[in-house]
């Protein structure tokens, strides 16, 4: 298959928006895959702020970055992504280049602990103020579970009503796959 899957597509977007020295956010660090990718992408002169509500996710991510010698430019927050503005340094207004979310639950962990539509929408609202012009928010939406379906509905209703003069919103998905395949929503803040 030559079409990119949703996770490779999300990384293609990150590569096209981010460069060495940028400030980025992993809003759901999970097991650290995106945190590691972002750390390498922005390099030593950039910085990654990584969030998760689960201590196990923070521990897993930290260890992955230490193992890869990529932890020097990352700050972790054991907090929800809708606490961005209270957790991040106050001087980052309009300086964030990109943020990525993998919505749902931590793979290999307690599936009852999930992201929610209200926390994700709250984080998007904050990010739209923190992003620099032409910055991007990438949502990988996993909706194959009950809370995921609720979150998908709320988030999609929210992003569809964003003013096109303020943001471009893209949806990337495979429409003929079974079992509620994940998909990407990308929100680019207009300049």
Supply the CATH number for residue 11's domain: 3.40.50.150
Q: Does residue 1 lie within any of the structural domains?
A: no
Q: What is the mean pLDDT of the chain?
A: 95
Structure tokens at 104: 């749902």
- Would residue 119 count as lying in a domain? yes
Mean pLDDT of 139-151: 93
Is 149 within a domain? yes
Domain that residue 159 falls in:
6-189
For residue 86, pLDDT beyond 80:
yes
Read off the pTM.
0.96
Helices (H) and strands (E) in the chain, counts: 6, 7
Percent of the chain whose pLDDT exceeds 90: 90
Indicate the pLDDT class of residue 191, thresholds 50, 70 and 90: confident
Q: Is residue 47 part of a domain?
A: yes
Residue 167 within a domain: yes
User: What is the C-alpha separation between 149 and 116, in angstroms, rounded?
Assistant: 10
Average pLDDT over residues 13-18: 98
| 147-176 pLDDT tens trace | 999 999 999 999 999 999 999 999 999 999
Look at the chain and report how many structural domains it folds into: 1
pLDDT at 109: 80
Residue 82 pLDDT = 97
> By the 8 A CB rule, do 100 and 140 touch?
yes
| Of the candidates 39, 41, 60, 59, the residue with the CA atom closest to the CA atom of residue 49 | 39
108 vs 96, more confident? 96
Neighbours of 129 (CB within 10 A): 12
- DSSP run (H or E) holding 152: helix 146-160
- Residue 117 Cα to chain centre, angstroms: 14
Query: Average pLDDT for residues 45-72, to the nearest whole number?
Result: 97
Does any domain span residue 46? yes
* Residue 110, pLDDT score: 82
């Amino acid at each position: 298959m030559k079409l990119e899957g949703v996770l490779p597509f999300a990384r293609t977007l990150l590569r096209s928006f981010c460069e060495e020295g940028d400030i980025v956010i992993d809003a759901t660090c999970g097991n650290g895959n995106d945190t590691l990718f972002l750390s390498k992408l922005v390099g030593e002169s950039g910085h990654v702020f990584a969030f998760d509500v689960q201590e196990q996710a923070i521990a897993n991510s930290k260890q992955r970055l230490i193992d890869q010698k990529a932890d020097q430019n990352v700050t972790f927050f054991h907090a929800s992504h809708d606490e961005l503005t209270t957790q991040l340094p106050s001087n980052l207004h309009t300086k964030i280049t990109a943020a990525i979310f993998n919505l749902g639950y931590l793979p290999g962990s307690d599936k009852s602990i999930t992201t929610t539509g209200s926390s994700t929408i709250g984080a998007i609202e904050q990010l739209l103020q923190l992003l620099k012009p032409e910055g991007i928010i990438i949502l990988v939406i996993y909706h194959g579970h009950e809370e995921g379906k609720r979150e998908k509905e709320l988030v999609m209703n929210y992003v569809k009503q964003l003013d096109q003069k303020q943001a471009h919103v893209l949806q990337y998905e495979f429409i003929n796959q079974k079992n509620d395949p994940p998909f990407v929503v990308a929100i680019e803040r207009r300049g």
